[in-house]
């Protein structure tokens, strides 16, 4: 029975004889006794929780038990004693520091460096012991373990990105409430039904801040990557990127995950660029550099007819090299000095 206050005749609340805090690994829980020793749960039977010292793998033989009631006393086996000193104060704080990093990583859309900077002030000793690189890895690991389920198709991503659970984390640019995901790319069929072709992403807030200076842009680059792209869902065909050259710096302005390489799909991306973003770009004085994919070139001629579409020198050289190899001309280039010189001139 709890002791009673003789004046108020009310039970006197007792200090808990143990503390349960989240462990450092996954969703585990560790228990700290009055002396500062830390235990993890080995098993549970009925209302009894059986524990082992957290240094068990380093040779500490101590086992213990406690009731499943919160704050219950941890009773150590009389056969053994701890082979080490109790955890210092910062070890307990370390548990709280790491768990705070993990909780905020999952709950908040904040850049990892900012989370660490804020938590360092709350757990200075633990932060010094843990180190900044390890703290950043803890945040990255928590977010990786808490990723959304991978849908069966790219179109199914729409429901995930719009869900209450994942929208705050996936829709926005890190550390802000600026939307990055802009929505699905769809084509309208003759029967007025829609055909899904991809998802489009851009930092529209940044683009509007830059918009006043975009009239001077003279070069735009477009290309799709087929090897460097998400492998799941399996229907993702390519990651298509649009960049502008501004002050001799390439700035990506649109990323689109597309399910095919059709002219109509490229046209929908370019329509988003021209009509949805409303950028202050003078297309009459714009050079659009692409590879030699005919579907993309056709789309540019239809949506951006006033722009000058030119091929990319890099892709042109790669095409020549592929032609030389596929037509077995490499021996000629090795044996004939003129052929070798011409190929080197292209390649450099």
Percent of the chain with pLDDT over 90: 39
pLDDT single digits (tens) 140-188 = 988 888 888 889 999 999 999 898 888 877 888 766 778 899 999 999 8
CB 261 within 8 A of CB 278: no
Both tokens of 153, joined, read 């198709």
Largest CA distance in the chain: 110
In degrees rounded to 5, what are phi and psi of residue 331?
-60, -35
Rg (CA), the chain: 31
pLDDT digits (tens, 9 = 90+) for 94-152: 878 888 998 888 888 788 999 999 999 988 888 888 899 999 999 998 888 888 888 99
Residue 342 DSSP code: H
User: pLDDT at position 12, please?
Assistant: 40
Residue ranges of E strands in 3-57: 18-22, 29-33, 38-45, 48-53
Cα 289 off chain centre by: 30
pLDDT of the residue at 10:
46
In sequence order, what DSSP letters do the residues of 270-328 get, joined into one string? Answer: HHIIIIIS-----GGG-EEEE-S-HHHHHHHHHHSTTSEEEE-HHHHHHHHHHHHHHTT
Look at residue 13 and tell me whether its pLDDT is greater than 50: no
H helix intervals, 123-242 = 124-130, 132-145, 157-161, 167-170, 204-210
């Amino acid at each position: 029975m709890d002791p009673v206050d003789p004046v108020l005749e009310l039970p006197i609340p007792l200090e808990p004889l143990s503390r349960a805090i989240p462990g450092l690994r996954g969703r585990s829980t560790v228990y700290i006794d009055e002396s500062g020793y830390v235990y993890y749960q080995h098993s549970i039977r009925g209302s009894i929780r059986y524990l082992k010292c957290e240094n068990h793998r380093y040779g500490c033989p101590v086992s213990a038990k406690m009731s499943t009631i919160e704050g219950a006393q941890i009773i150590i086996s009389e056969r053994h004693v701890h082979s080490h000193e109790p955890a210092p104060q910062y070890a307990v704080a370390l548990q709280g520091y790491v768990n705070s990093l993990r909780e905020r990583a999952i709950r908040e859309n904040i850049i990892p460096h900012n989370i660490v900077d804020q938590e360092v002030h709350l757990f200075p000793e633990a932060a010094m012991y843990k180190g900044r690189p390890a703290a950043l890895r803890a945040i990255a690991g928590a977010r990786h373990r808490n990723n959304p389920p991978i849908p069966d198709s790219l179109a199914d991503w729409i429901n995930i990105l719009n869900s209450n659970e994942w929208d705050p984390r996936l829709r926005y640019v890190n550390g802000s409430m600026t939307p990055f995901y802009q929505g699905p790319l769809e084509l309208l069929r003759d029967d007025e039904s829609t055909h899904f072709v991809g998802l489009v992403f851009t930092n529209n807030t940044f683009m509007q801040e830059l918009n006043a200076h975009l009239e001077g842009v003279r070069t735009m680059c477009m290309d799709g990557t087929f090897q460097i792209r998400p492998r799941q869902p399996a229907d993702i065909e390519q990651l298509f990127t649009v960049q502008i050259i501004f002050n001799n710096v390439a700035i990506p302005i649109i990323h689109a995950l597309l399910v095919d390489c059709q002219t109509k799909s490229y046209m929908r991306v370019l329509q988003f660029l021209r009509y949805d973003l409303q950028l202050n770009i003078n297309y009459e004085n714009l050079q659009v550099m692409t590879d030699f994919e005919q579907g993309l070139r056709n789309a540019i001629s239809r949506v951006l007819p006033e722009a000058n579409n030119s091929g990319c020198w890099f892709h042109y050289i790669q095409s020549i090299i592929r032609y030389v190899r596929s037509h077995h001309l490499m021996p000629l280039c090795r044996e004939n000095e003129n052929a070798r010189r011409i190929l080197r001139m292209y390649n450099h």
